Structure 1
Amino acid sequence: MPYLVHTANAQFVALWLGTVGWTLVIVTVGLVEWRVWEVSDLSVITSGLAWIGIWRVCFYSHAPILSGNQIMFCQRIRLSESYTPPEIAAAQVLMLLALILGLAGNASVVYALRNIYFGLNKFKPIKLAFSSGGVLLILTGVSTLVPVCWNLNSVVNNQNISFPTEFRMPSAPVNQSIGSAIIVGIFASILLVFSGLVFLSYRVPDILQPKVRPTWPGEGTSGTDVNRQGIDNPIFRS
């Protein structure tokens, strides 16, 4: 197989970008600071701020209604509950889907680069692996960007969430702002889409492509053709 390492320098860099982007998706899923609520009633939320993520709602409190040793009070947001807004429900599904797609995309790209660096296969599987990895990483970026932008739109429009009473959250904030998770998610999406486009752009130089030249009728009569085609062995004719 021809030497192909020099043809995949951009893809090697894109692999690192895709890995960083996928890692940031994991960070985005775990962060609770998707939406930051400012509240006026400080009797329970003594810090004046509450953080709303896609999995839980948290705030700091020193109120006596909470246990004496528990400073941060958190409640889980479940997908099946009626109070869960659609942007958070969609984020729970799409962000988990993004984790799976990103893992599969990076694995496909690693397989292609392994074949290039060790010369273990031919051109077609390498191109197919890069194309599959690129598509999967672009889908990962889109699956991350959709819930992130949806929640960003909810913050911009100052939309409320009707939490149940046990959450001890107000029905509406005084003001709300975007959290760090939305910023990290947007940055992760950009890295993933960019790396996916780099993988889709991979091309093997034409000079390295295997070429098959057909034998035309009448060839082999001249001295040049004999040297190119070879001389028949009469032993094998029998």
Structure 2
Amino acid sequence: MTYLAHTAHAQLAALWLACVGWTLTAVALGLIQWRVWLVSDREVISSGVAWVGVWRACFNSHTHVSPGFRVMHCRYISLTEAFTPPEIAAGQVLMLLSVLVGLSGNAGGVYALKNIYFGTGKSSLIRLPFFISGALCLLAAVMSLIPLLWNLISVVANHTIEFPPEFKMPPAPDSQRVGSGIGVGMVGTVLMIVSGIMFCMYRSPVRSRQLDASVPAQSVTESRRAGGEDNPAFESQEHL
């Protein structure tokens, strides 16, 4: 079996990047700080700041409090609600799919590295899993990048959301800015892209059997050129 561990140092680093990128993508999915709304009316929103995430909208309040959130009032954003903007609906679907596909990409990278470090001399069982892992990581990155950029554009364009009355959210914020959820998701997406490219770039070393087989013949030829003579007894044993 050919020793190939020295050929996969970059892919080992790619697996580490993919794990970190996948973790950041999963964290971004659960954060509420995707869009930060700043409001001047603090009668309900005591802090003057409201957060709109992929799954819920929240703000600190001393008058409206959700059970389990202490002084924070939160309402869940459903995919099927009429008020849900398309960029948030896309985030709910694509970010979740990105987490699942990214997990599959990480699993494929672990399998390919296991074949290198512990096990097989078949190059097809190494190159193909690395390529599939890279493709899955790139696909996961594209899935997460679409809603991240979409929500980023919505914040820059100051798009508002018509929340129902039970959300206690203002019709429109005085201003809004990009939250940490989009930033964390962007970093995770970049890491997934880098890891996917590194996985796909794996190349196993090429060894020519024909070149190895020609070494003894070349040695004999060189010895003859150096003035050596054939041994008749050795040749007669070869014919037996």
TM superposition score normalised by structure 1? 0.85
Structure 2 letter corresponding to 1:174: D
Instruction: Give the direction of change, closer, same or farther, for the CA distance of 1:130–1:67 in structure 2 (3 Å limit).
Output: closer
| Alpha carbons of structure 1 residues 74 and 232: separation in structure 2 relative to 1, 3 Å | farther
Contact map agreement 2:58 2:75 (CA 8 A) in 1: yes
Query: Residue 92 of structure 1 corresponds to which residue in structure 2?
Result: 92
Write the distance in 2 (CA, Å) between the matches of 1:76 and 1:3: 54
| 8 Å Cα contact 2:2-2:121 kept in structure 1 | no
The question of whether the paired residues in 1 share the 8 Å contact of 2:141 and 2:190 is answered with yes
- The Cα shift of 1:121 comes to 4.5
Residue 156 of structure 1: CA displacement?
A: 0.1
Decide whether the 8 Å contact of 2:47 with 2:61 is kept in 1.
Answer: yes
What pairs with 1:99-178 in structure 2 (closer than 5 Å)? 99-178=99-178
TM normalised by structure 2 equals 0.85
Answer yes or no: is the 8 Å Cα contact 2:33–2:53 preserved in 1. yes
Map 1:64-75 → 2, pairs under 5 A? 65-66=64-65, 70-75=70-75
**Could you say which residue in structure 2 is the equivalent of 1:79?**
79
Match for residue 200 of structure 1?
Answer: 200
Contact 1:59–1:72 (CA<8 Å) still a contact in 2?
Answer: yes
Deviations 1:125-166 (A, max 9, x none): 110000000000011111111111100000000001000000
Cα displacement string for residues 147-190 of structure 1 (whole angstroms, at most 9, x for unaligned residues): 11100000000001000000000111000000001111111111
Give the AA of the match of 1:135: A
Counterparts of 1:73 and 1:232, CA distance in 2: 93
Aligned partners of 1:67 and 1:7: how far apart in 2?
Answer: 55
- In structure 1, the residue matched to 2:222 is none
Q: Where do 4+ consecutive residues of structure 1 move more than 6 Å?
A: 209-213
Residues 46-90 of structure 1, C-alpha deviations (whole Å, 9 max, x = no match) = 110000000000000012x54799410000000000000000000
Contact 1:3 1:119 in 2 (8 A): no
Q: 3-state SS of the aligned residue for 2:59?
A: strand
Deviation at 1:120, TM superposition (A): 2.6
2:189 aligned partner, one-letter code: S
The residue matched to 1:169 in structure 2 has which SS?
coil
Task: Supply the AA of the counterpart residue of 1:133.
Answer: S
User: Could you say which residue in structure 1 is the equivalent of 2:43?
Assistant: 43
Q: Distance in 2 between matches of 1:67 and 1:75?
A: 8
Contact 1:39 1:175 in 2 (8 A): yes
Q: What are the ranges of 5 or more consecutive residues in structure 1 without an aligned counterpart?
A: 214-222, 234-238
Structure 2, unpaired ranges of 5+: 213-229
Q: Superposition RMSD on alpha carbons, in Å?
A: 2.2
